[in-house]
A and B are shown apart, each in its own frame.
Chain A
Amino acid sequence: MKALCWHGTEDVRVDTVPDPTILNDRDAIIQITRTAICGSDLHLYDGYIPTMQAGDVLGHEFMGVVVETGKGVSTLKKGDRVVVPFTIACGSCRHCNRTEFSLCDNSNPNAAIQEAGYGYSGSGLFGYSHMMGGYAGGQAEYARVPYADVGPFKVPDSLTDDQVLFLTDIFPTGYMAAENCGIKEGDVVAVWGCGPVGLFAQISAKMMGARVIAIDRFQERLDMAQQFAGSEVLNYEEVAVLDVLREMTAGRGPDHVIEAVGMEAHGLGFVNAYDKVKQTLRLETDRAYALRQAIQACGKGGTVSIPGVYGGAIDKFNLGAAFGKGLTFKMGQTHVHRYLPRLLQHIEDGDLDPSFIITHRAPLTDAPALYKTFRDKQEGCIKVVLDPMA
């Protein structure tokens, strides 16, 4: 089959690779009808996620049709149309029982690698390094899905692929980021980043009753935040974000902040240059400009919610500000299985149509060029959707 493979920093190629097969009784094979490039795939593209190996198949946002099931799978049959959570979960361990699916004890075959780095291992993820399990991803014609009796969710024929595809990651990820804030009616939530996760976090925070202020530097992204999430917007290259946020909240500051940027944040001034140099020299793995600013901007007693991906260590971490203001931190990979059914219901009810974020549609073979377009934010690129059957 055709699959998008990582071969090194800024080197991804569409290769012909062996078709996946059933390896365990609870597996299913999905023929992929739609797959997307995630902002977090750009961390792989830029070489910031360790334990990648040349040839790894990328992609963790994908959906399709069941073509084969293992003998332990009775909940799915050939022909079922499904979306697949990017986090792989067994459904029966202590953390799955607590609906903390992205912390599954059983789904990462390489848990020992992650234990060495983090102390304990989270769940396996599709197409996201060997530390996360070494599973082949879904930017391909087919994918093997483990624990298929727990993971894939059937979707109704009344909804198109483009409408339900983002249930695999970015919509639940934005939603969980908002939920992690514990929003009360009228709370002000400031969101750093108007990429797909930032936009879904804004929409979700709005649904939970918040007033939302969005921060980015790209006009097309700020326009989207205004148009689709009803957010007030700030361009951090044009205004002093902290001062403006203070004024907009009559001196209180935002009740909660969401950092939807992650480890390759862009910023301004000396500390940003410091981060870039240190990250380039690998003296610091994660560049945390947006996170530091969000902590600084957050009002007293607030929540710092982090859906942006971090992998290693940051420094110049303003823990004193967080301590001094009594902040709460919430973060982590998304418990997709927990949120997917209720968000699917929202889409079915017509509350929103997530396909609004798609800016680029292309066949899988165009993926290498589109990684670069997306990374460089050229052509107003916000979300790339790929069709492996085209």
Chain B
Amino acid sequence: MTMTPTESAAAGVPHFTEVPPPPSVNVGQTERAMSTVAGGLLAAYGLSRRSLPGLALAGLGGALLTRGTTGHCPAYNAAGISTADAPAPVEIVQSMSVTASRGDVYAFWRKLENLPRFMEHLRTVEAVTETRSRWTARGLGPLPDVSWEAEIVEDVPGERIVWQSLPGADVDNAGHVRFEDGPGGLTEIHARISYRPPVGPLGVAVAGLLDPVLGSSVRQDIARFKHIIEAGEVPRADPNVRGTS
């Protein structure tokens, strides 16, 4: 689900930090990261289709990958565009009800080292200080891991946690999670995670493509959180126990 910037501002999501790009590069840092991620996804998806349209997708994916890793976009160059201005973030909003006390849910989430237990793309989160933390996410496919530092900018025990990445982050992101009492002893979790999308026509297309992917991945993350809090483990089927005759 994508929120408008107005709604997100009203909900108190922090603004993104600005990182000026190096001179020889005409694609902003966040957009590079997004190009890399989206390019990787597209290439993988396109190649897996084993069809002509699939190959075309893979080709577009490859171009995006190049654009992301080099920071140079031939199309932007030709059009005289350079993207360093701040676009509205892509906002992913997901909610979930869990059978656990608000205090327990908050405490589990606030111990940031717990996050990789349910956020699948995260490798580690280490607390550097009480409010500052270092996050490492798995690189997509053959891409290397990405890491960034984040700061908890608001922390109301039992109610909400708000964080944002610090200047220099590979992936410029921010988010907040709010805990509310639901009916029948449930705790309602409302999470909002934002990534800054690329700009320009290509960027719009890429953001549109990524939005549902990120949305469903955040949804899966929160579902895993619920499984761990309620049942103590994430359900798994064994993919190996099957016939191959």
Contact = CB atoms under 8 A, between A and B. Distances in A.
Interface string A85-124: 0001011111001000000011111111000000000001
A109 B232 contact: no
Interface string B203-242: 0000000000000100110010011001111111111111
Contacts of A107: 231, 235
B97 interface: yes
B184 interface: yes
A184 B241 CA distance: 47
A107 B232 CA distance: 11
A109 B240 contact: no
Interface in B181-210: 184, 186
Contact of B230 (A53, A105, A134): A105
Interface in A129-178: 133-136, 144, 146-147
A251 interface: no
B232 A136 contact: no
Contacts of B243: 3, 5, 7, 13, 15-17, 54-57
Interface stretch (A22-30, A34-42, A207-215, A333-341): A22-30
A361 to B, nearest CB: 24
A3 B89 CA distance: 51
Nearest to B236: A23
B99 interface: yes
B115 to A, nearest CB: 19
Contacts of A53: 242
Given A23-B236, A92-B231, A108-B235, A56 B226 contact: no
A160 B227 CA distance: 36
Contacts of B24: none
A109 B99 contact: no
Contacts of B238: 20-21, 23, 135-136, 144
A18 interface: yes
Contact of B186 (A18, A94, A124, A135): A94
A72 interface: yes
Contacts of B51: none
Nearest to A90: B231
B21 to A, nearest CB: 37
B6 interface: no
Residues of B contacting A: mostly: loop
A136 B241 contact: yes
B244 interface: yes
- The listed residue with most A CB atoms (<10 A of its CB), out of B184, B235, B238, is B235
Contacts of B216: 112
Given A112-B216, A124-B235, A93 B240 contact: no
B239 to A, nearest CB: 8
Contact of B220 (A20, A56, A112, A136): A112
B129 interface: no
A144 B220 CA distance: 24
Contacts of A109: 234-237
Interface residues on B, range: 20 to 34
Contacts of B244: 15, 17, 55
Contact of B231 (A54, A106, A136): A106
Interface residues of A, number: 44
B237 A25 contact: no
Contact of A90 (B97, B184, B230, B239): B230
Nearest to B235: A109
Contacts of B223: 111-112
Interface string B162-196: 00000000000000000000001010000000000
B232 A25 contact: yes
A109 B231 CA distance: 13
Contact of A57 (B97, B231, B236, B241): B241
A56 B226 CA distance: 28
A334 to B, nearest CB: 19
A3 B244 CA distance: 11
A136 B242 contact: yes
Given A94-B99, A112-B216, A147 B231 contact: yes
Contacts of B235: 24, 88, 90, 106-109, 124, 133, 146
Interface string A206-249: 00000000000000000000000000000000000000000000
A124 B233 CA distance: 14
Contacts of A105: 226, 230
A134 B245 contact: no
A310 B184 CA distance: 31
A106 B236 contact: no
Contacts of A91: 231
B242 A55 contact: yes
Contacts of A136: 237-238, 241-242
21 contacts: A3-B241, A7-B243, A7-B245, A15-B245, A17-B244, A20-B241, A25-B232, A26-B231, A26-B232, A57-B242, A92-B99, A93-B230, A94-B97, A106-B226, A106-B230, A106-B235, A107-B231, A109-B236, A124-B237, A134-B239, A144-B238
User: 9 closest Cβ contacts across the A-B interface?
Assistant: A5-B243, A15-B243, A55-B242, A90-B231, A134-B237, A136-B241, A55-B243, A106-B231, A109-B235
Interface of B: 97, 99, 184, 186, 216, 219-220, 223, 226-227, 230-245
Given A92-B99, A144-B241, 11 more contacts: A3-B243, A15-B243, A17-B244, A20-B241, A56-B243, A90-B230, A90-B235, A93-B231, A105-B226, A109-B237, A147-B231
